[in-house]
Amino acid sequence: MAAVCQPRRALVEIPAPQPKIAARMRRSYLEILSARLAPSPLPRGRTTAPKRVQSLDLSIGGVWRGGIEEHCEKMDEPHTPLSKQQLVQLIRSLILVEQSQEPRIMASDLKYLQEDLQLKKANVYRSIPYSRFGSNRDAHCYRKAYPHLVAFKVSCQEWGQVLMRNKEWDAALEHSLMAWRYTSELPQWDTANHNALREQCYSILAAHSLTALEHYRPEPNRGRELLRRLKMAQLHSQSIVPCIQELQRIMGSCDDSSMDTK
């Protein structure tokens, strides 16, 4: 008698297809921050004056920083790269926001400024890809490090301006010489045009030093020390030459006045 083949039952039932879940709209950082800063609704029967929400438009010395929101919205949009000018404005705005937290106290502490310059320089070297067969100073590596180079330049410029607004001339000179040393330690690029940011940093720091010397008369010992350091800075760039000449003129006039008193 032939065996009777019975159909095999399926042990697993296929579930019905689930409805599609609506995609969540991505919210930007400023929308989340605005929601947190918004005042909570009041209970019924209570009417009080609405509290003033803290504005995001921060400024130091009349500098407007409302462009942060615009740049952040542009960064959230897909396929919208920032131009070089927009990138510089964004980095400048972020640094000014950082300086808004008691700038006078932070600027007077040169140790904090040194740590800031060290961090900016370290970010430049961290951004350079080293696992490459070719040179790590070519145009590709320069494009990777460009935002951090701009951040270093803006940091040199903005902190020097804060010190000069506070009329801390000796601290401004010390900061310029300190930033000069960190600028000399930035990478040298294969293309000459890519080293323009380094020269711009030298020009900015030289201008800060010259402005400080126009308002500052150092002691003889301090003047000789500054002159020695300025001459060492001349080995990296000739932009410091007017500062050397101004300091020599100041020290010469001080020597003449001391001889007249005798």
Reported for 150-153, long-range contacts at CB under 8 A and 24+ positions apart, including other chains, are 150/87, 150/88, 150/91, 150/197, 151/91, 151/95, 151/120, 151/123, 152/117, 152/120, 152/121, 152/123, 152/124, 152/182, 152/183, 152/186, 152/201, 153/197, 153/200, 153/201, 153/204
pLDDT at residue 232, as a whole number: 96
More confident residue, 133 or 262: 133
The mean pLDDT of 167-189, rounded to a whole number, is: 95
For the chain, the average pLDDT equals: 75
Whether 159 has a pLDDT exceeding 70, the answer reads yes
Lowest-confidence segment of 28-42, 105-119, 164-178, 209-223 by average pLDDT = 28-42
pLDDT above 60 (res 173) = yes
pLDDT for the residue 12: 57
pTM of the model: 0.61
Question: What pLDDT, in 10s, does the model give residues 70-125?
Answer: 444 444 444 456 676 667 767 766 666 555 554 454 555 788 899 999 999 999 99
- A 10 A CB-CB count for 30 gives 15
DSSP for 103-116, please give it: HHHHHH-HHHHHHH
pLDDT digits (tens, 9 = 90+) for 124-141: 999 998 876 778 899 999
Q: What would the mean pLDDT of 48-76 be, rounded to a whole number? A: 41
Q: What is the mean pLDDT of residues 45-53?
A: 43
Query: Considering the chain, what percentage of its residues have pLDDT values greater than 90?
Result: 48
**Matching residue, tokens 């930035």:** 186
Side-chain-facing half-sphere of 244: CA atoms under 13 Å: 14
* Structural element, H or E, at residue 196: helix 196-215
Who has greater pLDDT, 57 or 250? 250
Give me the mean pLDDT over the 130-159 stretch: 90
**CA 26/CA 11 separation, integer angstroms:** 42
More confident residue, 148 or 96: 148
The reported pLDDT for the residue numbered 49 is 43
- Residue 68, pLDDT score: 44
